[in-house]
Structure 1
Amino acid sequence: MITLENKREGNVREEQTENICRKPDVPYEELRYVHFPKPTSYSRRECSCTPVRFFVIVSMQRSGSGWVETLLNSHPNISSNGEIFNRVDRRENVSSILQTLDKLYDLDWFSSAAKNECTAAFGLKWMLNQGILENHDDIVRYLNKKGVSVLFLFRRNTLRRLISVLANDYDREAKQLNGTHKSHVHSKEEAEILAKFKPELDTSTLITNIRNIEKTIKDCLDHFKSTRHMILYYEDIVHNSNALSQALEFLRVPMRRLMSRQVKIHTRTLPDLVKNWEEVSMKLNGTEYAHFLDGSDYVK
């Protein structure tokens, strides 16, 4: 579902309405989301009149955001620059957050994803534990003033996410792949090695943890409801290879086939992924989270 902000915060910026590059077929209500950046570190040359849409992917660790970002970055006109706020100095206060965002959206940001001159959609990936919720009022104001679209990506099956988090935490210490830790892999052989570990879930805190995660997601969606935004779920993308076409439409870029080299790690059924599965199953059966157990929300 795509939601467009109805309230206009101030007038459309003068440079947007007067810019000679503005295409006449851009709907008036979307002018605030169309930009013609002038980076200081390079010239956009022949693409200087290619309008740029700013975006941010908001997600949680182990929710498929790395995979989805690689899919989007396979598009020739999309540059998503990763978790730039994984560095503490960039999020230590509101000022540092907004300064970092300004540099990014000026297109003076270099990463392996940058397409520079002919970029038509430019953004980042922002995890909920990287300062976005603690400073949500200021960030929402910034996003609306700057004309940034928000793409939310979450998992419906919180149980599977918890399993992935625990397995990733284990590998961070164990470094199962030749003494290195990898959150994402590009071969079935590597995926099989990581998938051998079966985490044991603490059933005494399991339901509380699930509820806390779901509350965090709900609070996030409430905080950012005034932005132009779209909500995607990992399971829907796994089910339907064309699900991201909505995201391309949302970003107003041409339709393209998207590809990723990432290989999914946990492909087996839930009982094969958890060390104490019977205990977990007994804990969730009869609760509002019993549907997490049947695996019907996920297709290999």
Structure 2
Amino acid sequence: MADDLCLFAKDSLNLKPQKKNPLVLRMVVLIFAMVCGVYICSVCLKQIGGKTTERLLNVQVLERPCDATNIEPSEKPYVHFPKPKTFSRDECACNPVRYFAILSTQRSGSGWFETLLNSHINISSNGEIFSVKVRRSNMSTIVETLDKLYNLDWLTSASKNECTAAVGLKWMLNQGLIQHHKEIIEYFNAKGVSAIFLFRRNLLRRMVSILANSYDQNAKLLNGTHKSHVHSPHEAAILASYKPTLNTTLLIPNLKQVDDLVTKSLEYFKSTRHIILYYEDIIKNRTKLVDVQDFLRVPQRDLNSRQVKIHKGSLSSQVDNWEDIKKTLKGTHYESFLYEDYKL
């Protein structure tokens, strides 16, 4: 019995240490792997994030609006890259477009002048858009109309299939232009719209043209059709056969009214980028058309029109009461209108 106890004690003293639990080792290895994995992932994410940012930046650069680097800084406010909703400009997308408006009065040669501009392959002038009253009923409708026009979404016969470099309209002073002049000037300056003033020096000839045109609206001398502009000498001769009688009592007040309207418009819009033209000057000197093309920054071309002038020659042959008109204007500021002449 004692021997057994001794053997038991020896065995107890000579026991080998127990092996470490494999589960603990596995946990240590797993934690180490996780730490390494987190570190590696963080490094990779930084690199991937940097590349992604670069890609995003590259995409942004590609989708940025066109930039005309060869345009002078002072000219950039007047350069635009419209994105029409109704069609795609395709290869013309980065072709710069300038906005303009022909500001004039009725029977001052603006219709003829506009046909000259539209004969240029890169210019689109869309006529008297604001002759329709609802479009000029308030400033909101005016802005809506102008935005559509300058975005190249106003489609008329003047719209070009080629790369349009200048787009605009013909706008008479009495078509909401003076009434809303403050807001329109703000719009012009904000949008970079250039104004082309076109007036007639001889306001007496303009008055004769207005009266004759007004008469034909009712008489319809051309086979029952009214035409404000004609394309043949025969049609022009028929319309010129009517000789209006001018009211000499109202003659000077009427001339002064138009004169004041022109002066007022020039004063109002002097803060805009503009050029001032006169019908008679264009007729006498066609280099004025070169000045207009330079003003619009379009390539210079020979401009032409199919329109034929209606009233030619001296004023004495165009009115019915010439002697009364002479007496009324003699010694006044407007006497020179009696004798000024030009050939077309």
Q: TM-score, normalised by structure 1?
A: 0.92
Alignment of 1:1-300 (within 5 A): 21-116=66-161, 118-296=163-341, 298-300=342-344
- Give how far 1:23 is off: 2.2
Runs of 4+ that moved beyond 6 A: none
Amino acid at match of 2:305: S
Q: 1:243 Cα shift?
A: 1.6
Equivalent pair of 1:107/1:116 in contact (CA under 8 Å): no
The equivalent of 2:41 in structure 1 is: none
Query: Which AA in structure 1 matches 2:221?
Result: Q
Q: Residues 206-233 of structure 1, C-alpha deviation per residue, up to 9 Å, x if partnerless? A: 0110111000001111111110000000
SS of 2:153's partner is: coil
Counterpart in the other structure of 1:13: none
Distance in 1, Cα, partners of 2:199 & 2:259:
10
Instruction: Give the 3-state SS of the residue equivalent to 1:101 in structure 2.
Output: helix
The answer as to whether partners of 1:44 and 1:116 remain within 8 angstroms in 2 is no
Indicate the structure with greater helix content.
2
Amino acid at match of 1:258: L
Whole-angstrom distance in 1 between the partners of 2:161 and 2:64:
20
User: What one-letter code is carried by the residue in structure 1 that aligns with 2:324?
Assistant: E
* Paired residues of 2:313 and 2:343 also in contact (CA < 8 A): no
Q: Which has the larger radius of gyration?
A: 2
Q: Distance in 1 between the 2:164 and 2:257 partners?
A: 38
Alpha-carbon separation, structure 1, partners of 2:77 and 2:165: 15
Q: Aligned residues: percent identity?
A: 59
Name stretches of at least 5 consecutive residues in structure 1 with no aligned partner.
Answer: 1-17
How far 1:25 moved relative to its partner?
A: 2.0
For residues 290 and 280 of structure 1, the distance between their equivalents in structure 2, rounded to whole angstroms, comes to 10
**Are residues 223 and 19 of structure 1, via their aligned partners in 2, closer, same or farther at CA, if it must alter by over 3 Å?**
farther
- Unaligned runs of 5+ residues in structure 2 are 1-62
CA distance in 2, matches of 1:117, 1:269: 42
Name the structure, 1 or 2, with higher relative contact order (CA <8 Å, separation 6+).
Answer: 1
| Structure 2: distance between partners of 1:19 and 1:144 | 24
Checking the alignment, whether the CA contact within 8 Å between 1:57 and 1:125 is kept in structure 2 is: yes
Coordinate RMSD, CA, aligned: 1.1
Measured in 2, the distance between the counterparts of 1:19 and 1:126 equals 34
Question: 1:116 offset after TM fit, Å?
Answer: 4.7
Q: Deviations over 1:51-100 (max 9, x none)?
A: 00000000011000000000000000000000000111101111111111
User: How many aligned positions are there?
Assistant: 282
Give the Cα separation in 1 of the matches to 2:123 and 2:109.
18
Secondary structure of the residue aligned to 1:295 is coil
TM-score by length of 2: 0.80
Partners in 2 of 1:67 and 1:172 — Cα distance? Answer: 19
Letter in 1 for 2:287: N
Q: Which whole-Å CA distance do the structure 2 matches of 1:284 and 1:50 have between them? A: 52
Checking the alignment, whether the CA contact within 8 Å between 1:50 and 1:120 is kept in structure 2 is yes
